[in-house]
Amino acid sequence: MEQEKDKRRSFLKHILAGSVVVAGAAAAVKPAQAREGKMPKGADDILYYESEDFKKYYKSLKS
């Protein structure tokens, strides 16, 4: 009976420790920020344009 209680307590301690680690890692992640990009002339009205970065990404998806 005592061994069963010890196993259960040990399991709960490990779950608690794991949740603390996950919460700490989530809090430490920096939020992503947009960086300034080169916009083509007259792009104020355009919501989408293909840049070199997008072209490289699309090529990587095809292969």
Structure tokens at 3: 């061994």
Structure tokens at 20: 């603390």
Per-residue pLDDT tens for 29-45? 767 676 666 666 665 66
Q: How confident is the model at residue 52 (pLDDT cuts 50, 70, 90)?
A: confident
Say if residue 14's pLDDT is above 80.
yes
Give the CA distances from residue 38 to residues 11, 41, 54, 58, 62, in Å, rounded to whole numbers and listed in that order. Answer: 54, 9, 13, 19, 25
Average pLDDT over residues 57-61: 89
Q: Mean pLDDT over all residues of the chain?
A: 78
